Amino acid sequence: MKPNPTILFGAGCFWGVQDTFDALPGVLKTEVGFASGHTQNPSYQEVCRGDTGHAEVVWVSYDPHQISLETLLETFWHCHDPSSLNRQGPDIGAQYRSCIYYTDPEQLESIESSKHLFEKSGKKVVTEIKPFSNFYKAEEYHQHYHKKACQSKR
């Protein structure tokens, strides 16, 4: 049996991005972490320094029978500003870059097609699109951060 496909999205601070993808039917699991850098097993504090090469990302595992890659990509393009280089809202630095790291070469055609479709809106996309190279899960307190914060207030 083939495992469920995965893809990694970076769109600023990973807390809100995780919330966005968790809300989609067909998304089976998400984890926040750091990807595509040169430092092994970085901490959040190290990534925030900006010298690890990593981006804050959300690892998304999905069921292609319930949600298409195209729907995930459309969600990605619209949940942040992919024309903003190394910045999303108040978050500034390369760790907040817009990025997609694909885990299957067959995903690239859909990624490029959706990027060109989004660019028809008049925005120049600066999103880094690369094959998956590495992922390090962030500390447990970052996983589903907003959900935990809301529960602790009850």
8-36 residue pLDDT tens: 999 999 999 999 999 999 999 999 999 99
pTM of the model: 0.94
**Domains of the chain with bracketed CATH:** 6-152 (3.30.1060.10)
* The one-letter amino acid at 120: K
**Which residues are marked as active site?**
13
Helix (H/G/I), strand (E/B), else coil: 111: helix
pLDDT tens by residue, 87-122: 999 999 999 999 999 999 999 999 999 999 999 989
Dihedral, CA of residue 87, residue 20, residue 79 and residue 92, to nearest 10: -10
C-beta separation of 67 from 53 below 8 A:
no
Work out the pLDDT band at 152, boundaries 50, 70, 90.
low
Helix and strand numbers, DSSP H then E, in the chain: 5, 8
